[in-house]
Chains A and B, each alone.
Chain A
Amino acid sequence: MGENGAGKSTFIKVITGVHKAEEGEMYLFGEKVDFKGPKDAQQAGIAAVYQHPTSYPDLTVTENIFMNHEIKKRGIIQWKQMNEEAQGYLDELDADFKSTAEMGTLSVAQQQMVEIAKAISTHAKIIILDEPTAALTANESQKLYKIVDKLRDSGVSIIFISHRFEDMYRLAARVTVFRDSQYIGTYDVDGITNADLIKAMVGREINDLFPKPEVTPGEEMLRIEHFSRIGYYKDVNLHVKAGEIVGLTGLVGAGRTEVVESVCGITKQNEGKVFLQGREVTINNPTDAMKNGIILLPEDRQKTGLILSWGLGRNVTLPIVKKLSTNGFTNDKKERELSKKFLEDVDTKAVTIFDPASSLSGGNQQKVVVAKALAQDNMKVIIMDEPTKGVDVGAKAEIYAIMGELAQKGFAIIMISSEMPEILGMSDRIYVMCNGRVTGELSKDEASQEAILEFAMEKSSKKQKEGV
């Protein structure tokens, strides 16, 4: 375990032979080894499943599993045999898809299963999983735990890299902590507490992970009624008041992102009205939304939230270049000053505002996105889609603190999240969606993991018959 940038991935790359160690020794099954490249490591029985599956979307599952070690008889590939073997692995993993499916049609969780099957197919003795739960929902994570259990029981050793404490408590016998490219120590999971672990990972104490201050909700800021878009969501009603943090949760694919993207003008709903502070507004594009004070922090910060090749300053001022311009000419000085202010406000770890956004860690990148939202100073409603996905513990706490302060200032916040602790810790009210509909609304007191899961999977079989 360790924060982003602590050195975990690089360390794994040394183990799997991608990088060469400059000092130190590696012993495999008691014997000293020196890998010259990834193939050596693979042949020695080490396999890695990375966070972003590097698979071939147009090829089938079988082809991906057997890439580079196809079953051949006299030079001819044995498809039937490969398909059957692949199916065998998939059955072991309790997969709900066939080995002849195309990779591109599978969800992230399913693709990950294929990667694990690939690792098994190389008869690896040591399997390394790099942040496998980052892109999974609670349900899918449970499935993954079962798979890991099975692998462990069959004699395979697993190195499980994760931010999440629940992963560690659930699966691990021992935990190794990295911080700032240093090895901190290895501990027995039984003996350690959360606080100890955080201290080791972050180097300082974080007392309250969810500092949500008590705020009395003010006027109703945003309300959407009967929101529908064919194929994505139907009859969605929700509202959020000033000073409230409303959590919006559900399984992946429930339609949460789609709803907020329509509210923010990126897509257009077929039916439904949007009310801002009681008045109906029409939102046809992102500019309309921003003019009305509705700001979105998108789910995929690298693809839709930031321009990675640009400097931080320009990223922050991108939506307001016109506002800051003089007579249509860009005002670089104003932009520099403004972006500096907001980047410092959210405590971004960077040296200058010209640092390219790509050079920042995930948590810092998210802070830049927050700064970008704050810089548009007419906002009333802030919608954050998975604000702490891929963000390390230290930055997470800071983002929660910022959210709390914003609520105190009277902004209305909608937070989409798949992380149970986050939803339960930060939300004043929770909406749960399933298959495109809002299936439940819970207040903070009513909320619990079980209640949420029930709504998230409610009448799912009935839903399949109804359709959206």
Chain B
Amino acid sequence: MKKKVLSAILSAAMAVTLLAGCGGGGSSSEAPSSAAKESSAASAAEEPSAASSADEGSAAEGSATESSAAEGSATEGGGAAGGGTYAFVSKSAGNPFNEREASGFEEAVQALGGTAIIQHPEAATADAQITVIQSLISQGVDSICVAANDENALQAALEDAAAAGIKVCSVDSTVNVASRLTHVNQAGVTEIGQSLMDAVYDIAGGEGQWAVLSATSQAANQNAWIDSMKEIMAADDKYANLELVEVAYGDDGPRNPQTRHRLFCRTIRT
């Protein structure tokens, strides 16, 4: 009987090998749970108040610049020559914007004759990204391109990577200067800030209260856009009748943004 148990365990271990095959590239094929939506949409326009949110991929300009951004980082990473392995680390699984970036990345790398590794960390945290980066260092990839969940927290891990001869760049959400060779932005921060303020202005009809529901609190890109929006609002009189009530973070979880959105609507309407 004990022999049965032993062989059961060994066969279970062997069965894992089979799964190894389908696990493979870890790319967009799975993403099982509901999408870790970054934010929810704005509320109805009848009320003078409105809740606006920093939505990552809604703007049309997003898609056009993604593939160029991805391409840019690929060429940055490995040089135009064929061969070589290039890794892309997203913020987390189920992030639609990152996924489009990743597929663009993959196309570009493969077109240049290299192998692409796409990794989605198990949670939208710096912690999870560090685990992935460490694993990539072990695998000896040629370059790592990361959309960071935290500007500073990845520094130690990325410095390790650089020390191991791996070229590091960030995309979408930057890491601090010491951690990377270069950063690729999908669109200018001020431009994004401006178009978001324009959207707020239009939806609110020129006046009223509004709030920002962002993703994770440490993500550099969204925080940069929020700062830009604040600057634009302060600089231009046109926005004098708009009042930014609150900036909140949904932490990139599917439930959190929706609950916060509902809480917003309730408080703003009172």
Q: Does A touch B (CB under 8 Å) in the complex?
A: no
Which A residues form the contact surface with B (CB < 8 A)?
Answer: none
